Each structure stands twice: as C-alpha cells, then as structure tokens.
Amino acid sequence: MKFVNVLVGLAAFAAGVQAQNPLVTLAENMPKCALACFMEVIPTSSCATNLTSACLCTNTALNAAVGLCAAKTCTKYELLLIETKNVSSKGCGVPERYSGQKFIVGGIVGCAIALVSFVLRMAASIGKHGRQVSWDDATMAVVVGLAIPPTIFIKQLVDNGLGRDIWTLKDYQITNVLRYYFYGEIFYVTALGISKISILFFYLRVFPDKKFKMIVYSVMGLSAAYTVAFFFATLFQCTPVSMAWTQWDGLHKGTCNDIHLQGWIAAAINIALDAIVMGLPMKHLAGLNMGIKKKLMVMSMFGVGIFVIVVSAVRLYSLIHFANTQNITWNYVDAGLWSLIEIDVSIVCGCMPAHRFLIGKLWPKMKTTVKASKNSTDKSGGSHATSSTTPSKLGRVSIKGLTKDDSFIPLSDIDSSDRAHLTKEAQPHSRKESNTWITQTHEVNVDHNSASHPNDRPQDWNRPMTGKEHV
C-alpha cells in the first residue's frame, strides 16, 4: 500500500502549533505506531530543521519512509487514521469532498420512474377489455418490491458517510456504510434475476411456437439458477456473515471470498443473460407479416432492454476501476448508483409492452374526446348562422350521455358546416340511467326537392326538428 498521504497529516499538525514545537500536536493525534515511525525517520529527512506545513506537505521521501515503516507495525485502522490526518488536512489545503447528493437524486428519481412504469402496466389490465394479469405481472411485482428497500437504504448510506472520504468518518460510520451496502447487494442480485424471468414469462404469452417456448423455458432455468447461486454467494461471501462489513479494520476474525472477483463474475453472467433474453424474440419478430416500418417499431419495443445491458456494462466498469481502492465510502458511490439504476431500468423495460397496450386502449377515447371538443367549439361559432340558408343533405349529430338528472339522451348538432341547427326535445325512456358519455355520429337525410322554393314549403317548416335516441 502506498502511503502518499502521510505527510499531509503531519503538515496539518505542524500548522496548528508554533513552528518551534510542532511535534506536541503530532504526538497527541497520531497513532503510536505511526508516531514511532515518524520519530525514527524525520531526523534523517530534509524537514528535520524545517517542521513547517510547506515542507511536510511536499516531502515525498519522508512520506514514503514513514509509510513503509507504518505498514509493518500498524493495523489497518491505524493506517487509516494516518491517511485521515493526511488527506483531510487543512494545513495542505485539501477540502472535504461530498458526492452523496447525486446518489440521493439518482436513486430516488430512478425508483419513482420505475414505480410509475409499473402502475401504468397494471392500469392496462383494468376494465373489461384490459390485458389479462398473468405470471409476468406477478414476477414484475416482486421485482418492484425488491427495488424499494435499496432505495430506502439511500438515507442510511449517505447519513453514515457514503459520498465522503473514508478518513473523515468515524469507525462505526464506515461499518454502517458497508452493512447497508451489503444488504443492497442481496436485493440487487435477486431483483435482476427475477426481472429476466418476468420478461421470459411475457414471451410465453406472446409467442405460441412450441419450439420457441422450450428455448424460453431453458433460458428461464438459467436465469433462476443464476439468481439462486449468486443470492447465496453474496449472502455468504464472508464467514461469519458480519465480516462483510467489519473486515475493513483488520480487528475482526473471519474469512471472506474474493469479493471483487465474485462481483465481476456475477456482472459478466448477468450481461450475457440480458443479451440472450433480449435477442430471443428477434427472429420471430423479423418474420412477422407487416410493413418494414411497423416491424422495426415492434422490434425496437422488444429490444429496448439493450439499455439494461449498457447500464450493466457501466456498473461493471465502475467495479473494476475501483477494485483496489482504500477510499471505499467515496469510490463506491458510482457502483451503488449504477446498481440502483440497473434495477429501475429493468423494470421500465419489462413494462413497456404493457404501456403500448395501454396507449392503444386509451388513444381512441382521447382522440374522440378531442374531436368532440373541437366540434363543440365549431358549433358555438356557427350557431348564429341564418336559418334561411338551404340545409345540406347530410347533417352530423352526436348523442350526449345520460346523467343522473336526465332519463333521455338529447341530440345536439356538432357540425355547423351546413348552417343548420338541429334541436331535440326531451323524451323519457325506460332504460337504466348511466353516467357514461357516448359520442356517436349519425347521418340525417333531408329531402328538400319539393321545398326548393319558400312558397312550396309546408306550413310547419319553421318548426325545429325533434327526435329522440335510446341507448
């Protein structure tokens, strides 16, 4: 381990006292093992006669010598205290850093989007013509449930120091960060495995080909095996289990697997399974009897899971990049954030086919509502047209829904292009009341060949047209 930061701590102590007596503060703050090394090395350094922050912050030879000595005599926690006084030293102008805010915002926003996505998925199943709820919905509900605890852990992680340099924290804070990080790993690996199974259940609903179903069942078995294997591998990565969050200080007895290697293997297998799951339906989709544009749109909807693979790759990079870091509470922010995002993206991607169904279900109603609103506006604008204008042969009318106060459906003109205003008198009918608004279009043929001249019109011509409609 390279102890480049030792001299920074010494500078901080020296800067806090009088120049002629810097070792007094040093003796009060440094671990005894490190102080012994310092006292042994400093007489032979160039700072022996210049115990100032400028010298102690820049003397790399002194730092290296003290580091080598301390590595032989100090515990991990004592070495951490050395780095604590180094890097956080204001005497060397190094400010405290904080990156927990992006972890909070990214984690909460991602979870919120995932929850909304799932709610919309289930909304597509509401109503008589809704999609049928099946195993893919049930398993996705489990994934959503597993995504919530890691989001709740965000507060505990940040409050205990995730996003800050480890040497600015108390020992119990470091332990708490690692404990909640461990809990999050359990939920993470389980949620990802089940999200794949949910998508595979959806394939079984969509594609009836027996051979394809056998392939899907096989991949489902692999996903289940991956989930179970790495659930237990993560849970029992250390013996006893508590070593997963206490081994950092070197004061506890126990053994642990190579956690970094285990994490890399899990991430690599996860990416491979994602690629297989996303690629399974492409051959069948390519053979659909539809236009190339529509076919590409459908394939894009099924292939949106490529984003899950991208996020998984970014997370794997962060794990490898910071594998040997000693500043775990600072460098693990990115890995933790990408883990949360990966779960959320897997939920959103798994729910998108249901979103397509929901849009297809609601769009006609939305379109009808907008059209009715537009026609109503046109009607009000043309309601003052003269009644002497000859009406056209076709008039468009709509049916207004029943209300609790009306036992009839009045008809009102919604197309003023013919400059004729059709009014309907209220008539009772025996059907059960309904609050549903219904819009229909009727064609009314008006024969005015025999009334082409005002003198030829019947006596009741000026009376408004009346009628009634039963639904």
> Is the pLDDT confidence value at 146 over 80?
yes
pLDDT at 89: 52
DSSP 392: P
The dihedrals phi and psi of 318, each to the nearest 5 degrees, come to -65, -35
Cα separation of 55 and 46, whole Å?
A: 8
pLDDT in tens, 157-185: 999 999 998 877 888 999 999 999 999 99
pLDDT at 439: 36
Which residues, in sequence order, are CB contacts of 348 under 8 Å at separation 6+?
Answer: 113, 114, 117
Q: Domain ranges for the chain, please list them.
A: 6-92, 100-363, 383-471
Cα separation of 67 and 58, whole Å?
A: 15
Top-confidence residue, 288 or 244: 244
Are the CB atoms for 80 and 51 separated by under 8 Å?
Answer: no
Which whole-number Å values give the CA distances from 110 to 43, 143, 391, in the listed order?
56, 14, 59
Would you place residue 134 in the very low, low, confident or very high pLDDT band (cuts 50, 70, 90)? confident
pLDDT at 78: 72
pLDDT at 141: 94
pLDDT at 173: 92
Are the CB atoms for 205 and 136 separated by under 8 Å?
Answer: yes
Cα separation of 45 and 38, whole Å?
A: 10
Give the H or E element holding residue 263. helix 259-279
* Mean residue pLDDT across the chain: 73
Give the H or E element holding residue 224. helix 210-235
> Considering only CA atoms, which of 17, 9, 156 is closest in space to residue 81?
9
Would you place residue 327 in the very low, low, confident or very high pLDDT band (cuts 50, 70, 90)? confident
Phi-psi map region of 392: left, alpha, beta (phi>0 left; psi -120 to 50 alpha): beta
Token pair recorded at residue 365: 């109603």
Would you place residue 409 in the very low, low, confident or very high pLDDT band (cuts 50, 70, 90)? very low
Which whole-number Å values give the CA distances from 242 to 151, 167, 207, 283, 331, in the listed order?
22, 22, 46, 48, 22
pLDDT in tens, 11-26: 444 444 344 444 555 5
> Is the pLDDT confidence value at 301 over 60?
yes
Architecture category of domain 100-363 in CATH: Up-down Bundle (1.20)
Residue-wise DSSP of 280-348: TTHHHHHT-SS-HHHHHHHHHHHGGGHHHHHHHHHHHHHHHHTTT-S-HHHHHHHHHHHHHHHHHHHHH
Cα separation of 16 and 144, whole Å?
A: 53
Would you place residue 394 in the very low, low, confident or very high pLDDT band (cuts 50, 70, 90)? very low
**Which one-letter amino acid corresponds to residue 84?**
T
pLDDT at 166: 83
Question: What is the share, in percent, of the chain residues with pLDDT greater than 70?
Answer: 62
> Is the pLDDT confidence value at 58 over 90?
no
β-pair partners for 185 = none
